[in-house]
Amino acid sequence: MDHFPTNWGRPRNDAFDAYATHPIHQRPYNGPKDTFADGVQRTQQPIVTGTSVLAIKYKDGVMMAADNLASYGSLARFKDVQRLHQVGNYTVIGAGGDMSDFQYIQYILEELSVEEISAQDGHELGPVEIHEYMSQVMYARRSKMNPLWNSLLIAGFKDGKRFLSFVDLLGTTYTASTLATGYGAYIAQPLLRKAVEGREDIITEEEARKILEDSMRVLFYRDARSLNKFQIATISSAGVSISDSMQLDTTWSFAEDIRGYGAQTQ
Amino acid sequence: MFRNTYDSDNTVFSPQGRLHQVEYALEAVKQGSAAVGLRSKTHAILLALKRSTGELASYQQKMFRIDDHVGIAIAGLTSDARVLSNFMRQQAMGERMMFNRPMPVNRLVTSIADKAQVNTQEYGRRPYGVGFLVIGQDQSGPHLFEFSPSGNSYEYYAMSIGARSQSAKTYLERHYESFADCNLEDLIRHGLHALRETLQQDKELNVNNTSIGIIGPMGQHEKPISPPGSFRILENEKVEVYLQSMEKKEEAADPAPAPVPAPAAAPGAAADDDVQMSG
Amino acid sequence: MPDMASLAHPQQRAFNPYTENGGTILAIAGADFSVIAGDTRQSEGYSIQTRYAPKVFRLTDRAVLAVNGFAADGNMFVKKVKQRLEWYRHAHAKDMPLRAIARLIQTMLYARRFFPYYVYNILGGIEEDGTGAVYSFDPVGSYEREACRAAGAAQSLVQPFLDNQIYFKNQVPAPGTSHPAHLPLPTVLSIVIDSFTSATERHIEVGDGLEIYIVLAKGRTLHGTESIGGMQELTTTDDGERVFVVRRDLKKD
């Protein structure tokens, strides 16, 4: 016998309101419960991943670079993935880590941008606002023990000011004149700091491009999850531009002279 | 006693297409003491007339700080104003938490206007009995908005609400073209002149009944505040210097405006078909 | 060849919501002033994330909060405290007194007893009676008022030094004299700067920059420390408590 009168049935089935004319009150469910029924699967580890993102400040703005690879473990799974994403008119966000989580981030930022644009009141989200929003989203998700498994760089230029910041899956944030995620934090960051720190207001666009390209080359030589195909985003008073994919020119002829491992001829 | 067939429920239109409860709410705004707002290229200011119920009572608060960049002056039910201003504070702080920016003033005003609109449409609710003048500064400069219980909001160069506010409006309409280039002191003087028009014949503005709210750079009679330019309310001895700066009313070129009919006369009501005598 | 057991397990089984971002903070209370300082390096493991990430925040004209530990928690915590203080201002039209802020912080920390903010807080400032004060907290809200406190990566290096220099531990006064109860501001500033230069020498997570906040009680002066390099006043009024900040370089290696 079910002792809960609310479960004894109703004179008619009004649980479905075809014309949505009235909010239907949901009756409490008093039946047997399955503890695991509302169990949810959370991101416990990244699956398809992007590697480093690099960014530096230069004289007229900020520049960011990332390659086009999304790996599945050690498998180079997707080789034409764009990891730099424009948000609004002043900001670029670059991601390392889980690519499906990054696509979700692109989706929520797109929703946010649409909402902002449709207000039609002249107010626009700049890099500062996008950074704050992303740090709140990332921190909120880590606090639910359901992180978005990414390291993000946010670069922008608005009202004459350069902006460059980092946010990761823990909600950790910081800003600096050179930033690098993933493997790049170990390999490229020292190179970038040497080239940029103290020279932020001197470096030209061409110079900045060369610094990033050289660092991407070193990363391609040393990071097994990287690709020699990459893009550069430039954000300045002229706005945002994300380049087409570019090829790194690399030299491998030295490999023949290496002795001690690999195929030996002598 | 007049009674109206179509005024007991705000979800029912009168045959004339009017929502009487909403109009009564607008009357509540007109019962409140007056508030005046005006704007220059650099400043937005509010001036309000405080009432007290008698010698023994304190004066009712007429201005509220919402955030560093927004402040309001109210006319109508103070208790409703506190509810709404609390909501505005939440919105403004939420914007700072989420986006690290001062909330755009127009969006803040729209958010309470949307709230007020719900009360004009849903069964079992009543409209707010209070109107606001909202001043604020954001990326697009200083602003002045009016919010009313009907769910409307408008932006203005200058505006007044509350009892006898039509007289102040007349003053503002006559002078508003000069406001844009005024410095803070001149803007406040204009505001006081406008506010003075709302007074009953034997009353005058003094340090006890006048509040001034300011957004914009520090004026020559002010001390520095932090953050610079943020909303501040001047009361008591701090308004003295501005009251001193007013010109005598007789000197004003225009003759005193014709007395405005007392608001208690529920304008227009008598002419309506759907007004009936009740037993 | 790896054993089967290690192959069977995924590399990371549970998400760890915490990390440790290095750095050190300290605060010293004087008779009518309070000094709150922190380095500006933020690191994770052996990597320096940035050379400038502030850990010391002005809350009101008489309260300064230093946070150290997990930077994301720290920043969020400061933001929430600031919003609570804003609500207090809305309700009472004045700044919250220091001892009330201290209790507020304990309440906010303890509210997260079972998912703590992984942050060590030190609150410094001026009490309502005009005395300099320092409050120190553990991550779940235990707190006490003290004369000085160091926390963070180099706590174990700095605190013994402060015990010796501020509390005169293991020092014997010259015959017929006694140790002073409170040190003057110039002496305190020297001790703070020495603490951080020393910690920078001996601890890899400390360095890059130093931010020292000074809170002065009403009507007090800087006692001749006005000339110190990199000082800047943050208060715009001169009839209440005053807050100054000193920014200096530390070694970046």
Residue A62 has pLDDT above 90, yes or no: yes
- What's the pLDDT tens digit per position in B137-172? 998 999 999 999 999 999 999 999 999 999 999 999
- What's the pLDDT tens digit per position in B15-28? 999 999 999 999 99
A143, A145, A174 member nearest C49 (Cβ)? A174
Do the chains contact at C237 and B224, CB–CB below 8 Å? Answer: yes
Q: What is the rounded average pLDDT of the residues C131-138?
A: 98
Angle at B235 between CA B147 and CA B138, to 5 degrees: 45
- pLDDT band at A265, cuts 50/70/90? low
- pLDDT band at B249, cuts 50/70/90? confident
Q: What is the rounded average pLDDT of the residues B200-226?
A: 93
Closest Cα to residue A54, out of A85, A96, A4? A96
What is the per-residue burial (b if ≥16 Cβ within 10 Å, else e) of A146-174?
Answer: ebbbbbbbbbbbbeeebbbbbbbbbbbbb
For residue C249, what pLDDT is reported? 97
Q: Chain C residue closest to B97 (CA)?
A: C79
Instruction: Tell me the C-alpha distance between B216 and B32, whole Å.
Output: 27
Residue C198 has pLDDT above 70, yes or no: yes
Give the CA distances from residue B91 to residues B101, B111, B192, C224, in Å, rounded to whole numbers and listed in that order.
Answer: 12, 8, 31, 45
Tell me whether A22 touches chain B (CB under 8 Å).
no
Q: Of A6, A21, A35, A43, which is the active-site residue?
A: A43
Tell me whether C232 touches chain B (CB under 8 Å).
no
Give the CA distances from residue A178 to residues A95, A96, B165, in Å, rounded to whole numbers and listed in that order.
Answer: 15, 16, 58
**Residue A95, SS3?**
strand
Do the chains contact at A133 and B99, CB–CB below 8 Å? Answer: yes
Q: Within a 13 Å sphere around the CA of B153, how many CA atoms are in the beta-carbon half? A: 22
Q: What is the rounded average pLDDT of the residues C147-172?
A: 97
For residue A258, what pLDDT is reported? 76
Closest Cα to residue C132, out of C45, C241, C235? C241
Residue C3 has pLDDT above 60, yes or no: no
Strand partners, B135: B71, B144
- What's the pLDDT tens digit per position in A148-194? 999 999 999 999 999 999 999 999 999 999 999 999 999 999 999 99
For residue A25, what pLDDT is reported? 53
**Residue C153, SS3?**
coil
Closest Cα to residue B164, out of B49, B81, B22? B49
Residue C164 has pLDDT above 90, yes or no: yes
B198 Cβ partners below 8 Å, 6+ apart? B33, B34, B36, B49, B160, B162, B163, B164, B165, B167, B168
Residue C202 has pLDDT above 50, yes or no: yes
- For residues C10 and C114, the model is more confident at C114
For residue A38, what pLDDT is reported? 60
State the smallest CA–CA distance between residue B68 and chain C in angstroms: 10
State the smallest CA–CA distance between residue A15 and chain C in angstroms: 39
Tell me whether B217 touches chain C (CB under 8 Å).
no
Q: Determine the residue among C7, C9, C76 to mutate to test chain A binding: the one whose Cβ has the most chain A Cβ atoms within 10 Å.
A: C76
Looking at the domain that runs over C24-250, which CATH code has it been given?
3.60.20.10
Burial class for C66, CB neighbours closer than 10 Å (0-12, 13-18, 19+): buried
Q: Among A38-42, B38-42, C92-96, which stretch is predicted with the lowest mean pLDDT?
A: A38-42
- For residues B210 and C238, the model is more confident at B210
Instruction: Tell me the C-alpha distance between A85 and A68, whole Å.
Output: 12
Cis preceding linkage at B227, omega within 30: yes
- In the structure encoding, which two tokens stand for residue C221, read together? 């002066």
| Domain boundaries, position A99 | 48-247
Decide if A101 is inside a domain: yes
For residue C229, what pLDDT is reported? 81
Q: Are the beta carbons of C185 and C176 closer than 8 angstroms? A: no
Q: Among B3-7, C17-21, C217-221, C248-252, which stretch is predicted with the lowest mean pLDDT?
A: B3-7
- For residues C237 and A211, the model is more confident at A211
For residue C9, what pLDDT is reported? 41
State the smallest CA–CA distance between residue A110 and chain B in angstroms: 16
What is the per-residue burial (b if ≥16 Cβ within 10 Å, else e) of A68-91?
Answer: bbbbeeeeeeeeebebbbbbbbbb
Q: Chain A residue closest to C14 (CA)?
A: A44
**Which amino acid does the sequence have at A40?**
V
Q: What is the rounded average pLDDT of the residues C117-123?
A: 98
Decide if A10 is inside a domain: no
Chain C residues with CB under 8 Å of B225 CB are 236-237
Residue B264 has pLDDT above 50, yes or no: no
- pLDDT band at C1, cuts 50/70/90? very low
- Sorted by where each starts, the structural domains of chain B and their CATH numbers stand as 33-245 (3.60.20.10)
Q: What is the CATH number of the domain that holds A237?
A: 3.60.20.10
Do the chains contact at B228 and C236, CB–CB below 8 Å? Answer: yes
Decide if A40 is inside a domain: no
- Torsion on CA atoms B16, B22, B26, B32, rounded to nearest 10: 150
Residue A14 has pLDDT above 60, yes or no: no
Q: Among A27-41, B23-37, B254-268, C44-58, which stretch is predicted with the lowest mean pLDDT?
A: B254-268
Residue B3 has pLDDT above 70, yes or no: no
Tell me whether C13 touches chain A (CB under 8 Å).
yes
Decide if A14 is inside a domain: no
Chain A residues with CB under 8 Å of B98 CB are 132-133, 136
Q: Determine the residue among B100, B107, B108 to mutate to test chain A binding: the one whose Cβ has the most chain A Cβ atoms within 10 Å.
A: B100
Q: What is the rounded average pLDDT of the residues A88-108?
A: 97
ipTM: 0.91
For residue B266, what pLDDT is reported? 42
**Which amino acid does the sequence have at C1?**
M
Q: What is the rounded average pLDDT of the residues B50-79?
A: 93
For residue A193, what pLDDT is reported? 97
Tell me whether C252 touches chain A (CB under 8 Å).
no
Q: Are the beta carbons of A223 and A52 closer than 8 angstroms? A: yes
For residue C224, what pLDDT is reported? 78
Decide if A202 is inside a domain: yes
The DSSP call for residue C62 is: T
Q: What is the mean pLDDT of chain B?
A: 89
Residue A255 has pLDDT above 70, yes or no: yes
Decide if A204 is inside a domain: yes
Residue B213: other Cβ atoms inside 10 A: 26
Instruction: Tell me the C-alpha distance between C1 and B261, whole Å.
Output: 98
Do the chains contact at A176 and C10, CB–CB below 8 Å? Answer: no
Tell me whether C80 touches chain A (CB under 8 Å).
no
Residue A199 has pLDDT above 50, yes or no: yes
Tell me whether C156 touches chain A (CB under 8 Å).
no
A43 counts as catalytic: yes
Q: Chain A residue closest to C55 (CA)?
A: A174
Do the chains contact at A123 and B139, CB–CB below 8 Å? Answer: yes
Residue C165 has pLDDT above 50, yes or no: yes
pLDDT above 90 coverage of chain C, percent: 86
- What's the pLDDT tens digit per position in C34-88? 999 999 999 999 999 999 999 999 999 999 999 999 999 999 999 999 999 999 9
Write out the E strands in chain C: 24-29, 33-39, 42-44, 47-50, 56-60, 63-69, 119-126, 132-137, 143-146, 148-152, 209-216, 231-233, 242-249
Domain range summary for chain C, segments of one domain joined by +: 24-250
For residue A264, what pLDDT is reported? 62
Chain C residues with CB under 8 Å of B226 CB are 235-237
For residue B275, what pLDDT is reported? 38
Q: Are the beta carbons of C108 and C83 closer than 8 angstroms? A: no
For residue A79, what pLDDT is reported? 97
Strand partners, B65: B71
Instruction: Tell me the C-alpha distance between A91 and C48, whole Å.
Output: 25
Query: Could you tell me which chains touch chain A, where touching means 3 or more CB pairs under 8 A?
Result: B, C
What is the pTM for the complete model shown?
0.87
Do the chains contact at B138 and A128, CB–CB below 8 Å? Answer: no
For residue C166, what pLDDT is reported? 96
Q: What is the rounded average pLDDT of the residues A106-127?
A: 96
Instruction: Please provide the DSSP assignment of chain B as one string.
Output: -EEETT-S-TTS--TTS--HHHHHHHHHHHHSPPEEEEE-SS-EEEEEE--BSSTTSPBPP-EEEEETTEEEEEEE-HHHHHHHHHHHHHHHHHHHHHHSSPPPHHHHHHHHHHHHHHTTTSTT----SEEEEEEEEETTEEEEEEE-TTS-EEE-SEEEESTTHHHHHHHHHHHGGGGGG--HHHHHHHHHHHHHTTS-TT----TTTEEEEEESS--TTPPP-SSTT--EEE-THHHHHHHHTPPPGGGSSSPPPPPPPPGGG-TTGGG-TTEEE--
For residue B265, what pLDDT is reported? 40
Closest Cα to residue B241, out of B223, B222, B217? B222
Question: Domain count of chain A?
Answer: 1
Chain pair A-B, CB pairs under 8 angstroms: 27
